[in-house]
Chains A and B, each alone.
Chain A
Amino acid sequence: MKLKQLKEVLNAKVLYGDKFLDKDVKMACGSDLMSDVLAFIKADAVLLTGLTNPQVVRTAEMAEVIAICFVRGKKPQEKTLKLAQEKEIPVLVSEFSMYACCGRLYKEGLLSCDGLK
């Protein structure tokens, strides 16, 4: 799924990274626990989270996340967004809840990071 498509499915706003919307999202991972993200996420996955501090971006960088999407309309802290720009990781915000975001993406056929459909 293209990031552009994911944006539509989640009715999300792009806070940074319009130029990356043509990238391919291979999987998704939804978590507020960054250690879990580091443990399970695969490269080129989108990270759905309700956590908005800069460590989300650091985690995304280490785990080679293709994009971060904040759920439930959570606006990231300014330093978070700045860091994302620096690291060139696209940032989106969806008004849907974590559960709804996951559900919508799952329905569209986006894989989970554990590889099971």
Chain B
Amino acid sequence: MNNEKKITKVQELVYELKVRDAMRKDIIRSSPDILMSELGETLRSNRISGTPIVEHDKLVGIISIEDFIKWLAEGGKDCPIESRMTRSIKTLYDDEPLVHAIGKLDKLGFGRFPVIDRATGKLLGVITKGDIIESLLRELEIDYHEEEIHRYRASHIFEDIIADKTILRFEYFVKGKDFNRAGEVSSGIRKTLTRLGIHPQIVRRAAIASYEAEINVVSYTSGGEISVRVQSDKIQIHVTDSGPGIPDVAQALKPGYSTAPEWIRNLGFGAGMGLCNIKKCADKLDIESTVGKGTRLKICINMKAG
């Protein structure tokens, strides 16, 4: 059951892409009155295994190399292709998602489908399994390339900006009590820092520190903000909330000290490790907290590797 719930990039694409994105438009068409002997030559010289048959722009049939072989086997008496073509044709509309094409190819066992315009019935192209694979590969390559460009662009920001001091600052808003989304902000921070070309060890420490802080904001407050400042020598993460505040910061920093209610513990947190973890990941941690007003965490991580 769970297997069917898996969604891969390719599965996403087959729903996203339309038949028209994958079909071949420069197709060889034949008219119904050409002879079978001529068809052989058309198939051979174009290296194709079949052709749609069109009369006044309308699709009237389809003929494949199989039909040709059958005709040869039956004696090969020349006749117009009209008399040997398949008339009841299965077609696809150009605006259908690619997944329909794949389904039909699988179910009916055909090698190709003519693609027609939904409104006019005009033949627009032909789609084969090969065309589908080619279009998917093309799309995946574009995706991959885009991620590469992101990385390239980001890691050069600091070199490209001419200034005595460059600071890149980005901010996030954390919703309180929404545990389903807790961690989304830190996920974004992690991805962004990675794209900026920052050393993986540093990214890891920043991500874990911001994640623990985010969990705290979600658990104990009605919401807050996380701002990240990236400089060439350090990353500063400031986490600000207007929650209940910490009465005794020194106490809160002791491993195992916790005021967490049951529901937070059930989620695998609240064991009094959060602030310790942040401290462990940070090169410097400042906590300013006023009971009844809120808390600000200032996390600083130096940019040296390792």
Contact = CB atoms under 8 A, between A and B. Distances in A.
B124 to A, nearest CB: 35
B274 A35 contact: yes
Contacts of A51: 267-268
A32 B208 CA distance: 17
Nearest to B265: A33
Contacts of A32: 268
Interface stretch (B182-190, B227-235, B294-302): B182-190
Contact of B211 (A49, A59, A78, A87): A59
Interface string A13-40: 0011001000000000000111110110
A105 interface: no
Interface string B18-29: 000000000000
In the A-B complex, the 3 residue pairs with the smallest Cβ-Cβ separation, listed nearest first, are A58-B183, A35-B273, A34-B268
A113 interface: no
Contacts of A63: 204, 208
A1 to B, nearest CB: 22
A56 interface: yes
A85 interface: yes
Contact of B182 (A33, A38, A58, A85): A58
Interface in B53-109: none
B276 interface: yes
A43 B269 contact: no
A38 B179 contact: no
A53 B204 CA distance: 22
B190 A35 contact: no
A81 B2 contact: yes
B271 interface: yes
A55 B179 contact: yes
Contacts, number: 80
Nearest to B280: A39
A36 B204 contact: no
B180 interface: yes
B212 interface: yes
Contacts of B190: 61-62
Nearest to A35: B273
B183 A55 contact: yes
B119 interface: no
Interface in B157-204: 179-180, 182-183, 186-187, 190, 200, 204
Contacts of B47: none
B305 interface: no
A62 B269 contact: no
B277 A38 contact: yes
Contacts of A87: 187
Contacts of B280: 39
Given A36-B273, A62-B208, 13 more contacts: A15-B2, A16-B6, A33-B273, A34-B267, A34-B269, A35-B212, A35-B269, A49-B268, A54-B179, A55-B183, A55-B268, A62-B187, A62-B211
B299 to A, nearest CB: 14
A57 B6 CA distance: 16
A43 B208 CA distance: 12
Contacts of A2: none
